[in-house]
Amino acid sequence: MSRAYRIAIMPGDGIGPEVVEAALSVLDRAIAPQAVEMQYSHHEAGAHYYRRTGLSISPQTMDEIGQADAVLLGAMGLPDIRKPDGTEIAPQIDIREHYGLFASLRPCRLMAGVPTRLKADKVDLLVIRETTEGLFAGRHDRLEPSDESVSDRLTITRRTSEKLFELAFAQARTRRERQGTPGHVTLLDKANVLRSNAFLRKVFDEVAERHPDIGTSRIYIDAGSMMFVTNPERYDVVVTENVFGDITSEIGAGIVGGLGVAPSADVSERHGVFQPSHGTAPDIAGQGLANPVAMILSAAMMLDWLSERHQDPGCARAAADIRQATEQALKAGVLTRDLGGQATTTDVTRAVLEQLEAAHG
């Protein structure tokens, strides 16, 4: 019998609560046969919370979620609820900074039954985006008011880059063992122009030398972005700077069916926040139209992460079951509107649950 994991649930705004509810029912069904236990605590944060309290997340909530074994987050922020400086409420970014979640893992896998405009039979790649520095490094720098010019700062540190690349090589190895991928890491950068990126590449080369069993490529971000569309099969693990990763992970999501099927995980060595790549989708909130697949697959990523951290094979089996049940449901044609179908959030959730039932009786 494994331990009971403490999971902090943050449903958030818009479609967040709808997809979180779907993912929790799938999660509960998947862990039951594995004798894995979860204790959920629910936490409020985001745009509605801000409107009521003037805070996007309370210090107490920030503290409590850090004590959990993992955080499962829906989506936060709404375009019509903003801070006085005009920016949206984004506690997910505050959490990232507070807990030093330096890497965002964004797997992009083309699943049977999901329509794509791409002429490719197979896409199975993982974008790892650095999330605490790069071109976001100066987010809190003092801005000298000017109508003539404004600059943003791009900073790369050895400490974060080494952690990032070690994680990328470890992920390439884990993926090779788990799903038979080649064991390869591609660095996307602009080392031909930006000094910061030349340094990034130098650190990458140093870390790569410690992992001779994993293949490597270094590609400039412009050509590398095109390859997501022309030759995505060339990618296994792709690792890159903050803003390059922000953009390429959405290209990756686009080629495998869009945001509705794109899960993600923000991690440090100690903390993990698991959330879909999409936002709160206010245009479809409350109508039962949200695709829960990205959130469900994020819950599976959480189980994999718990399995690795706690050497718990039950969690890994539950994660594999969720992925398989979700793929079967999609393959059977249970597709929400974003994927060209008519199914509701509940229809997809029910179809995934039925697949889990069929697998375990």
Closest distance to ligand ATP from the beta carbon of 224 (Å): 23
Binding mask 317-356 for ligand ATP (x = CB under 6 A): -------------------x-x------------------
Residue closer to ligand ATP, measured from CB, 93 or 219? 93
What would the DSSP string read from start to end of 8-72? EEEEESTTHHHHHHHHHHHHHHHHGGGT-EEEEEE---SHHHHHHHS-SS-HHHHHHHHHSSEEE
Q: Return the residue of 34, 181, 186, 291 that touches ligand ATP, per CB under 6 A.
A: 291
Residue type at 79?
Answer: P
From CA 272, how far away is CA 43, in angstroms rounded?
16
State the minimum distance, in angstroms, from the CB of residue 279 to ligand ATP.
2
Q: Is 290 in the site for ligand ATP (CB under 6 A)?
A: yes
The string of DSSP codes covering 193-257 is T-HHHHHHHHHHHHHHHT-TTSEEEEEEHHHHHHHHHH-GGG-SEEEE-HHHHHHHHHHHHHHTT
Shortest Å, Cβ 79 to ligand ATP: 7
Q: Which is nearer to ligand ATP, 242 or 307 (CB)?
A: 242
Q: Is the distance from CB of 158 to CB of 203 less than 8 angstroms?
A: yes
284 binds ligand ATP (CB under 6 A): yes
Segment interacting with ligand ATP, rule: CB under 6 A, options 52-60, 206-214, 287-295, 318-326: 287-295
Contact 6, 64 (CB under 8 A): no
Residues 251-270 that bind ligand ATP (CB under 6 A): 259-260
Question: Binding to ligand ATP by residue 294, rule CB under 6 A?
Answer: yes
Site for ligand ATP, residues 132 to 191, rule: CB under 6 A: none
Asked whether the beta carbons of 57 and 90 are under 8 A apart, the reply is no
d(CA 243, CA 89): 20
Of 33 and 288, which CB lies nearer to ligand ATP in the complex structure? 288
Contact 152, 140 (CB under 8 A): no
Using the rule CB under 6 A, is 281 a contact of ligand ATP?
yes
Applying CB under 6 A, among 163, 211, 278, 323 the residue interacting with ligand ATP is: 278
- Residue 6 parent element (H or E): strand 4-12
Considering the complex, state which of residue 55 and residue 259 has its C-beta at the smaller distance from ligand ATP.
259
Please, which residue, 34 or 277, has the CB nearer to ligand ATP? Answer: 277
Chain mean position to CA 195: 29
In the complex with ligand ATP, which residue's Cβ is closer, 19 or 237? 19
Verify binding: residue 279, ligand ATP, rule CB under 6 A: yes
Which two structure tokens, joined as six digits, stand for 163?
Answer: 């952690």
Question: Shortest distance, CB of residue 15 to ligand ATP, whole angstroms?
Answer: 6
Q: Which is nearer to ligand ATP, 200 or 353 (CB)?
A: 353
Separation between Cα atoms, residue 323 and residue 300, nearest integer Å: 7
Interface residue list for ligand ATP (CB under 6 A): 15, 77, 259-260, 278-281, 283-284, 290-291, 294, 336, 338
